[in-house]
Amino acid sequence: MRIGIIGAMDEEIALYLEAMGEPAQTVKAGITYYEGQYEGQTVVLCKSGVGKVNASVCTQILIDTFQVDKVIFTGVAGAVNPELTIGDIVVSTDCVQHDVDVTPLGFAPGQIPYTEKWVWEADAELIQLATDAAKAITDEIQVVHGRILSGDQFVASREKVQWFYEQFGAACTEMEGAAVGQVCSMNGIPFVVVRSMSDKADGSAHVNFLEFTKLASQRSFAMVQNMLRALSTGAGTAATAAPSVIVYSAKGCIDCDLVKKALDAEGIAYEVRDVMSSPEHQEAVEKLGFMGIPVTVVGDKAVKGYQPEALKELLGLK
């Protein structure tokens, strides 16, 4: 399966990029697409840029050029539902463009004229996967389903937030989700938008946004990682995901690539830990009693090097 993952900003895709190792890069319409294997899936990752036009162009390219089967948007948003607080996660039930305003001609706020369709529903299976995955990362936050509003505006006004809540019954507001949702729906591609709350879209939004974007992005990443694992095992829920497989490796290491290819061929999700980019990973390999890489770890067992038979045993495939 080919999964498109979109974030709007560098912070939102940084962790994925790190985890993907050495993905193939293609630039189209000024957007870089990173294609590689991650958690047992072929992932095409990109930073759309902020706003609905960027998000639309990016999504259509993911579909046409990269032939993705599903799209996950991950990032941060301003909370609209007063019960939500910074750090909480909203999984989209549907998305609406709050700044489409043809009300003088008698259309409802958000309604795109002369069409029945202006509420873009997310895919039920992806919603379930995202919810289970989010709940699995921490129990310190709320994970809710709700409507996500998008518009080409950074919202920092209590009055506007209140209107969003009353008019649209929205959970949060951001600047890309409905564009991704519309483009996916127009192409028949399932999508879900997952947002961690970086602010409350009120008078302090700009301060909170800067402060919490990093943490919120970390949470989104951990969640999507769980989703991909669950998709790879075909489990449908993160709770039943297979035990995690870690591959300690480095760029340009041929045996590391062979191990990853073997795991991909079996459809097994795994996490890549690059020993060159982190002394912690290097230490972990040494603690396991090994001097080099690749080292594949499942639970408390590990296999050094590319040894097809030993790997099969480690992974419970024989």
Q: Which residues are catalytic?
A: 12, 199
Cβ neighbour number for residue 288 with a 10 Å cutoff: 14
Partners of residue 89 on adjacent β-strands: 143, 196
Amino acid at 296: T
The CA–CA distances, whole Å, from 252 to 4, 22, 58, 112 equal 25, 9, 30, 50
Residue among 210 and 239 whose Cβ is closer to ligand SAH: 210
CB of 316 to ligand SAH, least distance (A): 42
Query: Position 228: which residue type?
Result: L
CB contact set of 134 (below 8 Å; sequence gap of 6+): 89, 91, 143, 194, 219, 223, 226
> Over 108-161, what HEC string results?
CCCCCCCCCCCCEECCHHHHHHHHHHHHHHCCCCCEEEEEEEECCCCCCCHHHH
Q: How far apart are CA 266 and CA 119, in angstroms?
A: 39
Residues lying near ligand SAH in the complex (CB under 6 A) = 8-9, 50, 75-78, 154-155, 173-176, 198-199, 201, 205, 209
Q: How near is the Cβ of 47 to ligand SAH at its closest, in Å?
A: 10
- The DSSP output letter for 24 is E
Q: How far is the CB of 197 from ligand SAH (least distance, A)?
A: 8
Question: Which token pair is 316?
Answer: 């419970």
For residue 300, the minimal CB distance to ligand SAH (Å) is: 41
CB of 153 to ligand SAH, least distance (A): 6
Structure tokens that stand for 277 in this block = 């980019």
200 vs 273 by CB, closer to ligand SAH: 200
**Distance between CA atoms of residues 253 and 142, nearest Å:** 41
Give the nearer residue to ligand SAH in terms of CB position, either 182 or 233. 182
Nearer to ligand SAH, 67 or 85 (CB): 85
Residue with the CB atom nearest ligand SAH in the bound state: 78
Q: Where are the beta strands (DSSP E) in 39-106?
A: 41-47, 70-79, 89-97
- Decide whether 54 or 226 has the Cβ nearer to ligand SAH: 54
Q: How far is the CB of 62 from ligand SAH (least distance, A)?
A: 17
